[in-house]
Structure 1
Amino acid sequence: MLQVKDIEVRAGARLLLSPVSFQVINGDRIGLVGRNGAGKTTLTRILAGEGQPAAGAVTRAGQLGYLPQDPRSGDPEQLARDRVLGARGLDTVVARMRKAEETMATAEGRVREDAMAAYSRAEAAFVAAGGYAAESEAARIAANLGLPDRILAQPLKTLSGGQRRRIELARILFSDADTLLLDEPTNHLDADSIVWLRSYLQGFSGGLIVISHDTELLDAVVNKVFHLDANRSELDIYSMNWKRYLLQRETDERRRKRELANAERKASQLMQQADKMRAKATKAVAAQNMARRAEKLLASVEGERQVDAVAKIRFPEPAPCGKTPLRGFDLSKSYGSLEVFTAVDLAIDKGSKVVILGLNGAGKTTMLRLLSGIEEPSAGRVELGHGARIGYYAQEHETLDVNRSVLSNMVSASPNLGDTEVRKVLGSFLFTGDDVDKPAKVLSGGEKTRLALAMLVVSAANVLLLDEPTNNLDPASRAEVLSAIKTYAGAVVLVTHDPGAVEALQPDRVLILPDGVEDLWSDDYAELIDLA
């Protein structure tokens, strides 16, 4: 349970949320919505205890499970399975059992007897904590999130960003938390996993706050909607499901328009009468009173809600380049004994459009990292053609220096642009005023996406490597990105779960990983997109 009392939320001097009070109790399934940058992630971090409000207090009762947009927790050497089991403290017990087993297999005499006793004690503790049934439950949750035993047996450091995020989601769902705070939980999930998650959250008996741009998830799950209005810095609370909320928002807006029009008409009539009365000295006081009545009338009604601003996204005019600006020869990648893919060849021609498909963990993100030069292949080579300029959008925003400001990140991407031009581009991506001085690490996922895209815009790249570019975006911003992809004249290599992004790209070719099969694009491949 969460009890929120008069909390105020700020980002530096900027007010994100005026003082508000609410509670989250068992059975509440709340959709927290609002445009990118409104403060949803900041508010959720405060509710989770990872940030402090500017004023007010948050009281927490029971266990809380929090999934941030960019989870980075866990020992890189830890097995993925142990990370999930650790939500109930089972990881340490399992580690004791494994250690005792190893000793029993090699030791003799008293040492082996001591190991057997240690194993018995650890197993008793394991059973008391839920034991094999709990382990089976964790595996079942993980499997439903697209994490089979093969993935669970790997160290966290070998997993892709999407796999690590799903491990964190599995850990939280396994934790038996009383209250869940989930920030974009469907990112990196395939279609079957999203359907399963909807069903799981529908049946969750505790309290839930979910930030999501997946309207199907919101429609299926939430019974309350909290709308954070960035223009008014207020939280509008609707105790109703998603469809009724959408209808109520439209009804409220029509009502506001009617009330404002009526108030403006009556105020105009009063002011006209006041103007006539001012001509007579004996009626000056009455005229003044009438003018005050007009002002009070206008102040008593709420005006039309301001439409949320949307980033204007257009990818750059590509710099001139040769016929084939990017090639990969016999590319292979392994992490220790784990082989991701082997002997993949590809050529990215000038202006070509390529989509990479494959199951989660097939190496799609790894391939983009190799092509961008951020990571080295285990075998083979990447070769840049004449005039090649690569622009890489990373799904985990690794291209951002989180310790530098928004402005500094932009300057590093566009050293030839002046300060005024850089600020103008940032303004078109909704970074204005003091926003440009904020360190990138405090930005929400949607804001990081906008900054990374802004850096691409000023790059003059002629090959764009885009890894899930529509994640974390509100519908209006997503539409802008899709339009930018559709109109970009340079070459694009795209990794996405978003069928709309592939439709906008209109790919010429498809690369299937991990096998490295390359083919001309056809609509037959479309059904693989949200499984990828």
Structure 2
Amino acid sequence: MALLSVNSLDMGFGEDDLFLNMSFEIQPGDRIGLIGVNGSGKTTLFKLLVGDYKPNKGTISLGKGTTIGYMEQHVCRNLDRSAYNEVVSVFSHLSDIEMELDTLNAQISAGIGDTNKLVERQAMLHDEFTREGGLTYRSRARSALLGLGFDDSRMSLPVGSLSGGQRAKLQLAKLLLCGAKLLLLDEPTNHLDVQAVEWLEEYLLNSNSSYIVISHDRYFLDRVTNKTFDLEHKRLTMYKGNYSTYLPQKQERELTKQREYDNTMREIHRLEGIIEQQKRWNREKNIKTAESKQKVIDRLQKNLEKPENAPGEINFTLSANERSGDDVLLVENLAVGFDGNTIFENVNMDIKRGERVFLIGPNGCGKTSLLKTLMKLYEAQSGRITLGEGVKIGYYDQIQQNVDSNKTIFDEISDKYPAMTNTEIRNTLARFMFKGEDVFKYVSDLSGGERARVLLTELMLSGANFLLLDEPTNHLDISSCEALQTALMNYEGTLLAVSHDRYLINSLADRIYYLTDRGVEEFRGSYDEFMEKTHKDEVIQKPKQKQESENKLDYKNKKERDAQRRKAKADLNRLEAKITEIEESISELEEQLQAPETASDYELATKLSEELQAKNDELEQYMDKWAKLSEIVESAES
């Protein structure tokens, strides 16, 4: 049975239609990626599905028992509540049951009220509490926060002290834990580092919920989706498979439509020639033939659908005006820090002409600072940076400070490239989707995506032979990411890029440098190969030590950790066996309490209730121990 059905949906604002005659169904197990250029109506569709907007036409029907979870429904409004309690609030129903169970236990123990009714209510609530995950909801909330990058100290902070990005993570955690059968995820990887994104991928893959996800992260879409909805030209087209599977399907579909159109037009032109010939002969038989052929043309034209041009996409190339020497960049024992605090040290890099190198690492490790130091915008604490002969750098700043907010787009390009004519500037900007009066927009009024396109325009015009790119796909929609990737693949210069875009890294990387506070570790190959070498989620903590004594110490520490891990796992197994034993005892006591003979025996009912309470208390203590020990085992194994 479908979780949700959409039939003949039309939506627009004023005279502008966003989409027309949209119909689809969501089935259990569907994991759908929603693709479309900015402004195509993706977020509007989400707001329609949750009832925030009303469609101009059509119907939206929820299946029986279907609940929809949407991130906007989980805004953090209590700014004094801790981050942990904010996430736990999504389980308010369970915490209410917990409180009532405590009250019932106290009443039964004190002999207040009708014990039979109290015990019956207690048993019913306990079943509901257990069935709906009451025994694990606190540990699940904590696990979600850990996965999204919150440590224990941050979990205790009040919501009001958190950044916008951290609050967005809380909203995401609440959405994931809300228990909805259908999740609507709008750019869920925003504000997440790579480790948190990988945690989210695993969570979604193991989730029982169906979902629709809007994302410009192509690697993420490849991992977590099994269908793709393409919203283009006001129509929704459905494809089987993830993002990479969808691309060739879409291309083949468009080629087929173009062939059908071309073949039909050839047939129409052929028939028109026959009609013209028959009319020249102008006999009765000829006129009837012409009329017959015209009916065929009318029928063909009635069903003829002309393929539409692709929506506006940037289209550009990157080229170097001059060739650099073979040695492009040499970094020796570089250390960078501020106010006496070192961010990283012992960084050594050697980049040759034509290489495509990516710099990755956890948030805050200093990747942007390293690029700015190479650009001489920051001063190094120690070490040496050597640029090769004939190297000309082109820099893309993720903070977008390289453009003047007080200028128009046209003036920004004109002032930096005064040799260009007005026509050349307009033609160049048109390739980045700035057409007509758009070129006279002030930079201060542009969105993040529009500012990114201005920066890419300047990068293209620079003719640099060594590109330093800091998160270049941030703010870009998927089609723009594809265009940038194509331009970089055809670029004959040298590339050093900081990026969290794993799809881009996979497609381009010759080498990867992983940055930590102690230096960089070099890996040859793609992102997938990097992950294989580092055993998926394992992150390199420090470079290999040369001293034999330190190697022995590492070996000793490893042996101790392994022993601790084995002991913790053995303790965990014993705990799980004990918990199972207690749960069986609880089940037996509950059965005895519900037996007819017990209902008529007050003393027996009271005794069994006390035993049940004692067993529940014992179970809670063991569950607390289990949760703590599970975290120790998981930490040791990771």
Q: Which has the larger radius of gyration?
A: 2
What percent identity do the matched residue pairs reach?
25
> Which sits farther off after the overlay, 163-172 or 291-300?
163-172
Q: Equivalences for 1:54-203 in 2 at 5 Å? A: 64-66=69-71, 81=83, 85=87, 88=90, 134-149=137-152, 152=155, 169-176=172-179, 179-186=182-189, 196-202=199-205
| 1:277 and 2:278 matched | yes
Partner in structure 2 of residue 233 of structure 1: 234
2:214 partner letter = I
1:458 aligns to what SS in structure 2?
Answer: helix
TM-score, structure 2 normalization: 0.55
1:487 aligns to what SS in structure 2?
Answer: coil
CA contact (8 A) 1:465 1:493 kept: yes
Q: 2:34 aligns with which of 27, 32, 35?
A: 32
Change (3 A) 1:214 1:521: closer
Q: 1:474 aligns with which of 478, 481, 484?
A: 478
CA contact (8 A) 1:29 1:221 kept: yes
| 1:465 and 2:468 matched | yes
CA contact (8 A) 2:319 2:491 kept: no
| CA shift for structure 1 position 271 | 1.9
| 1:209 and 2:212 matched | yes
| CA shift for structure 1 position 513 | 2.1
| CA shift for structure 1 position 430 | 3.8
1:302 partner letter = E
In 2: Cα distance, 1:64 partner to 1:204 partner:
13
Change (3 A) 1:435 1:137: farther
1:226 aligns to what SS in structure 2?
Answer: strand
Change (3 A) 1:329 1:260: closer
Partner in structure 1 of residue 19 of structure 2: 17
In 2: Cα distance, 1:153 partner to 1:218 partner:
33
In 2: Cα distance, 1:350 partner to 1:247 partner:
34
| CA shift for structure 1 position 64 | 4.0
CA contact (8 A) 1:84 1:168 kept: no
CA contact (8 A) 2:91 2:137 kept: no
CA contact (8 A) 2:345 2:517 kept: no
1:279 aligns to what SS in structure 2?
Answer: helix
> Which sits farther off after the overlay, 291-300 or 80-89?
80-89
| CA shift for structure 1 position 297 | 1.1
| CA shift for structure 1 position 489 | 3.0
> Which sits farther off after the overlay, 522-531 or 464-473?
522-531
Partner in structure 2 of residue 424 of structure 1: 427
2:317 aligns to what SS in structure 1?
Answer: coil
Change (3 A) 1:84 1:419: farther
| CA shift for structure 1 position 149 | 3.8
| CA shift for structure 1 position 272 | 2.9
Partner in structure 1 of residue 343 of structure 2: 341
In 2: Cα distance, 1:440 partner to 1:89 partner:
45
Change (3 A) 1:379 1:183: farther
| CA shift for structure 1 position 83 | 9.3
In 2: Cα distance, 1:365 partner to 1:56 partner:
49
Partner in structure 2 of residue 357 of structure 1: 360
In 2: Cα distance, 1:207 partner to 1:403 partner:
46
CA contact (8 A) 1:178 1:206 kept: yes
In 2: Cα distance, 1:234 partner to 1:45 partner:
16
2:316 aligns to what SS in structure 1?
Answer: coil
2:33 partner letter = G
In 2: Cα distance, 1:200 partner to 1:266 partner:
54
> Which sits farther off after the overlay, 56-65 or 286-295?
56-65
Cα distance per residue 1:68-97 (max 9 Å; x no partner): 9xxxx989x99993596287399xx9xxxx
Cα RMSD after superposing both structures: 6.0
Q: 1:487 aligns with which of 476, 480, 491?
A: 491
CA contact (8 A) 2:76 2:167 kept: no
Change (3 A) 1:477 1:510: closer
| CA shift for structure 1 position 281 | 4.0
| 1:501 and 2:505 matched | yes
CA contact (8 A) 1:485 1:505 kept: no
| CA shift for structure 1 position 140 | 0.8
Structure 1, unaligned runs of 5 or more: 94-126
In 2: Cα distance, 1:78 partner to 1:417 partner:
56
Change (3 A) 1:407 1:179: farther
TM-score, structure 1 normalization: 0.63
| CA shift for structure 1 position 234 | 1.9
In 2: Cα distance, 1:37 partner to 1:488 partner:
30
| 1:392 and 2:396 matched | yes
In 2: Cα distance, 1:136 partner to 1:410 partner:
54
CA contact (8 A) 1:163 1:361 kept: no
CA contact (8 A) 1:83 1:171 kept: no
| 1:453 and 2:460 matched | no
In 2: Cα distance, 1:378 partner to 1:428 partner:
38
In 1: Cα distance, 2:207 partner to 2:195 partner:
19
Report how many aligned residue pairs link the two structures.
480
Change (3 A) 1:501 1:176: same
Change (3 A) 1:46 1:418: farther
2:147 partner letter = N
2:34 partner letter = L
2:235 partner letter = E
1:33 partner letter = I
Partner in structure 2 of residue 101 of structure 1: none
CA contact (8 A) 2:219 2:503 kept: no
1:358 partner letter = G
2:300 partner letter = L
Select the structure that is richer in helix.
2
| CA shift for structure 1 position 2 | 8.9
| CA shift for structure 1 position 356 | 2.6
Q: Equivalences for 1:38-53 in 2 at 5 Å? A: 39=40, 41=42, 43=44, 47=48
CA contact (8 A) 2:48 2:54 kept: no
Partner in structure 2 of residue 102 of structure 1: none
Change (3 A) 1:209 1:407: farther
Cα distance per residue 1:383-426 (max 9 Å; x no partner): 999998662231x7676789987657656765764543333222
CA contact (8 A) 2:225 2:241 kept: yes
Cα distance per residue 1:156-185 (max 9 Å; x no partner): 999999878656543432455565332444
| CA shift for structure 1 position 492 | 3.2
Change (3 A) 1:521 1:446: same
Structure 2, unaligned runs of 5 or more: 96-128, 540-638
In 2: Cα distance, 1:41 partner to 1:290 partner:
44
| 1:312 and 2:294 matched | no
Q: 2:516 aligns with which of 482, 489, 513?
A: 513
Higher relative contact order (CA 8 A, sep 6+): 1
Change (3 A) 1:441 1:359: same
CA contact (8 A) 1:470 1:498 kept: no
In 2: Cα distance, 1:341 partner to 1:380 partner:
12
